[in-house]
Each structure stands twice: as structure tokens, then as C-alpha cells.
Amino acid sequence: MALNVEKIAKLPASQKLLALAALVVLIVFLYYIVWDKDYQSQINRLHSQLSDLKTEISKIQAIREDITKVERELALLEKKLSEALTKLPNEAEVEKLLITIDELGRENGLTFSVFKPGKEANKQLYTEVPISLKFQGNFYHVLRFFDEVTKLPRIITISDLTMSQVRSGKTSILDVSCVATTYMFREESATAEAPKGRRR
């Protein structure tokens, strides 16, 4: 059907407006059918992909936070282990500890007659290293020696303590006998526990 421009021109203004409105609706409808519908499906698909990506990012961030938390806990455990090893020396450090105890005694004016490491006693996670001590010194020197020994970073316990008073001229001297025990970390016990713990 041919479009008669003259007839349209003779139509009343109200009918012209209706015809124009119908034409606009037709154009919009055709645009939606031909173009907008395809774009809308693409937008929906992209929106779905964006939602999936946000979910994946959230998962990755949660994993990263967990890793950071584990790393902090691991660093704390390593620090605690280092502090524990400071108090429980290994075999090489026990030799240094014996020298330190001997030096502390001599610096405090004590005279050692016996300084003898005893037989080691293996426990589950550590080894006891007893040291038999016999020495002489005045009361204040002996007291200061024991005080400084207890302040050492290593764990040292004093047992089997006996004291007797002797005189050296006008000075009162104490004759002291005791066992100083330190504790050595057993690395092989820790490694031996690992495979045992994995058995079923």
C-alpha cells in the first residue's frame, strides 16, 4: 500500500499526532525485535559472568586471608619454639653452659673441688644432664652464685643441696654440695614421633 502524503497532509492535527505516535511505537518495537533483544541477552550473559567472577574473587580473598592467618600462627609457633630451644639447649650448647656455670662460680669467689657432669637421663622429649658440684665460699658469694644461675636463660634446677660451715681463719666459709641439672632438647625424639603419629 503506497503512502499518500497528500491525504496525510489533509488529516486533522489529532489524527496526524496519532499516526506519528503509531509510527514511533512501530520503530521502537522493530528496534527491540531486531537489535535490543540481542543486546539484552549479551548484557544478561555479561552480568552472569561478572557475578561468577565476583564469587571467585571472594573465594580467593578468603583463601588469602586464611593463608595470612596460618602464616601468622606459624611465625608465632616458630617464635615459641625458638624461645623453648633457648631454655633447652642442644648438645653443643651444653658444653658452653658448663663453662658459664664454672665462670659464674669463680667470678663469685667460689672454689670448686668437684665439677662433674653425671650420666644423662633420656626422657620423652628432653634429656636431663646432671652436674655434681662441690665448692666453698662465704654465704653471700654462695647466695649470689645460686641467684645468677637461676637467672640464666637455660632451665637449671638445683637439688640434693647440703651445706656445712667451716672456718678459714677469721672468715666463716660454707662447704656446699649439690646437683645442678639442665635439660637438653632431643631433636631425634621429635622426628621419631612424626612417622609414629601417621600410623593407622
Q: How far is CA 98 from CA 64, 91, 111, in A?
A: 47, 11, 15
135: exposed, middle or buried (C-beta count within 10 Å: 0-12, 13-18, 19+)?
A: buried
Average pLDDT over residues 94-112: 88
pLDDT tens digits, 44-72: 777 788 888 888 888 888 888 888 888 88
110: confidence class by pLDDT, cuts 50, 70, 90: very high
Percentage of residues in the chain having pLDDT higher than 90: 18
pLDDT at site 148: 92
pLDDT tens digits, 148-196: 998 888 888 899 999 998 876 677 789 999 999 988 777 654 444 444 4
146: confidence class by pLDDT, cuts 50, 70, 90: very high
Average pLDDT, the chain: 76
Contact of 178 with 162, CB cutoff 8 Å: yes
Average pLDDT over residues 36-45: 65
Beta strand 171-185 pairing with 126-137: antiparallel
Answer whether CATH 3.30.70.2860 is correct for domain 91-190.
Answer: no
74: confidence class by pLDDT, cuts 50, 70, 90: confident
Residue 80 has pLDDT above 80, yes or no: no
pLDDT at site 200: 40
First-to-last alpha carbon distance for the chain, in angstroms, is 90
2: confidence class by pLDDT, cuts 50, 70, 90: very low
Q: What is the pTM of this model?
A: 0.52
